[in-house]
Structure 1
């Protein structure tokens, strides 16, 4: 069957090899594709060097950046109606949009720019101008290390030394 041929193709060829599957089943490419609708999907962005479509399993196609894949599939379906099955499948698995209250960001997340963390720190402790100029936040992506330079320069800021820290370990040391 087409399903058996797909399983063998994935096991033996590590992917969807339609000529191999045609050889196993004696069926045409179109027959195999029709029987495997919803199990395999044509990739609208990729073609083989000879211009033939490239197919992916549902697991592979319906994962990753599915929002981008949906946008691509919708555009492709306008000129190729056979790709509507891609659009339908991708629409069914779209993740729900998160509300702002559902998003939690931890201080030190690597995708937050050091300038944003510095701005947060300066605004939280209402840092005086001298501290804003002398204290800086650095991140080294190669090592994953965060560093704050000039962290001893609080300018006598009460929020940095009492509210969010102590005289021995001010806010910038704790940050």
Structure 2
């Protein structure tokens, strides 16, 4: 089985027959009857499953994963007419995850999987206006269109138009005068040094 999966990527019936040295029908029947044991629980489970479309056998790891709920519905419909699919139904029911309640589903505003129509219905109900239009732009971008009157009605009290604060590109340099200003805000007095000159004695005229 591992050799065929490595060579073909699927459980090709003819290749299985060549590896096992039997006919394709016998190879198929032997694999469907084979069982593996869970080392922790001791439970046995099939190695492969009969496909719903009549193609190659499906490994258990692939068959019992993914959208098992939808696969179970298909298997139940097939088992109603073909008992070969009873084992499929039993194993799918064993791995079926429990249902969750609506209260356990977290739907944050802005989640892409909600869709624009759901967000639009929510905003129209909250703002009591059918003029609100919402569209999903992709990624984390949403576009909401509404008249100004509706926007103001939906704004919290005291909120005005958004303002943008612009930062200057270069820091403001302080002038030397401001840097040397006193804590009181007044400019300190400038001290100057004055040198006094001695008066020179006058010369008396000679006769």
CA distance in 2: counterparts of 1:62 and 1:94, whole angstroms: 9
Tell me which protein shows more helix as a share of its residues. Answer: 1
Q: Which residue of 2 aligns with 1:40?
A: 48
Deviations 1:51-70 (A, max 9, x none): xx421111111122211111
CA distance in 1: counterparts of 2:49 and 2:149, whole angstroms: 60
Deviations 1:26-71 (A, max 9, x none): 2432223322571111112x13xxxxx4211111111222111111
Contact 2:4–2:16 under 8 Å retained in 1: yes
Give the superposition deviation at 1:17. Answer: 1.6
Q: Which residue of 2 aligns with 1:138?
A: 135
Q: Which moved more, 1:32-41 or 1:85-94?
A: 32-41
Give the superposition deviation at 1:110. Answer: 2.5
Bigger RCO of structures 1 and 2 (CA < 8 A, at least 6 apart): 1
Q: TM-score, normalised by structure 1?
A: 0.73
Contact 1:139–1:145 under 8 Å retained in 2: yes
CA distance in 2: counterparts of 1:151 and 1:85, whole angstroms: 60
CA distance in 1: counterparts of 2:5 and 2:99, whole angstroms: 34
- Residue 11 of structure 2 is aligned to residue 11 of structure 1: no
Q: Which residue of 1 aligns with 2:89?
A: 87
Unaligned runs of 5+ in 2: 36-44, 163-207
Q: TM-score, normalised by structure 2?
A: 0.63
Q: Aligned residues, how many?
A: 149
Contact 2:135–2:144 under 8 Å retained in 1: yes
The match for 1:167 among 160, 166, 179 is 160
CA distance in 2: counterparts of 1:68 and 1:81, whole angstroms: 19
Q: Which moved more, 1:79-88 or 1:31-40?
A: 31-40
1:75-154 pair list within 5 angstroms: 75-124=77-126, 126-127=127-128, 129=129, 132-133=130-131, 135-140=132-137, 145-150=141-146, 152-154=148-150
Give the superposition deviation at 1:73. Answer: 0.7
Moved over 4 A (4+): none
Give the superposition deviation at 1:115. Answer: 2.8
